[in-house]
Amino acid sequence: MGCNQGVYLMGVQSRSLETKIQPLVLSLVKGGADTRIVNQFVALCHRMATRYITMKANNPSWYQQIQTEKINDLAWDSIAELFRTDDDGRFTCLIDYYQSINLEKITEGELYSATRRLVFRKVNDSLFRFMHDYDPSLSKIIRNVKLAVKESREVSLVRRWNTYFLIFGNEGDNSISVTGWMPPEILNARLHPFLTTKENLHEVITQIHDMITTQNDYVHAYPLVPLCLIIRESHIFIQDPLPRSVKPASNLIQDDVSRIIHSSITYLKIGLRQRYVQTGKIDENTFDNYFYGIRDYYIDSYVFFIEDIPYFTYIKKYLPGLTYSLYRNYHRKYVEYLMRLSRSHIQQQLGKVI
């Protein structure tokens, strides 16, 4: 965990612990919680979710699309499933999660940490669903990991608390528990030195299996979506080979390429705004959305080597009502021209550092 993130989480914990969490959870799990208790716990979870999403919004791996949504609404959507009840009014998701914890003996800090893990897990799932349409590369990694797990005898995929987990080894030997999974920064640091662009996904999963099962500090399981983000952030994207128009040097990491692409797109957008927007050829919102799609296209092309997705797919992400007929008849001429300009400028900037 980075220093700033650690300070942030400690600050959240100290403020949240001003309201005792133990009696809230006991009432919710054992039954008999009144409206006031439910509202207090909901507010606590919402604060956790909001601050976590705010932190995520500053992470380039999310392509800054979180900024286009209301963080407050995303937080509510993320925790909504936690408070669904059955026909008897029981909070089944909370009961399922807390049943392995001795709520009478656990400390406030430990219970807060366990609750935070639950909320963060739901936030990650919610953000993945939100980003699914914006992030085809992550979607493909997740799909391919699921396929690889089906072929593995040592790893299985299970669903707990409406979240998918990879179980490494026998589930009964070391089940998902409040001890938590290995922090992503630790797994990333251990995994990265062992990976090159030559491994197939089965080999990557095997390597992760060995790293997780040979230690006992963390549970032998990992949530699916965070694991796929780690695989991507380790500069590995496993898929069938595709043509690559640009091959950055091996020492040029993803963040450097991403930074160059963002800088180039920003430069072109500023320089071309007068030609298109101020002359009335394209309205400002459409103009900006063109460049959001163009940016995503080149991130996928030059960082993750995905090149078979049509321009239309990227533009439609930001113009949801766009039909292919309308794109072909009106937008395509602008998009293809701006794509060519962007490619030329990005390659020129990459050439300076490769």
Q: 129-161: per-residue pLDDT in tens?
A: 666 555 566 777 788 888 888 888 889 888 765
Inform me whether the pLDDT recorded for 252 exceeds 50.
no
- 239 versus 228: which is more confidently predicted? 228
Enter the pTM of the model: 0.41
Copy the structure tokens of residue 112: 């807060």
The span from the CA of 297 to the CA of 65, in Å, is 14
Per-residue pLDDT tens over the stretch 37-89: 998 999 999 998 988 887 766 654 454 455 555 778 788 888 888 888 888 88
Phi, psi at 155, each rounded to 5°: -130, 140
Inform me whether the pLDDT recorded for 2 exceeds 80.
no
Residues in Cβ contact with 194 at an 8 Å cutoff, skipping those fewer than 6 apart: 207
DSSP state for residue 155 in the 8-state scheme: E
Per-residue pLDDT tens over the stretch 299-344: 877 776 666 678 888 898 889 888 888 988 899 999 999 999 998 8
3-class state of residue 26 by DSSP: helix
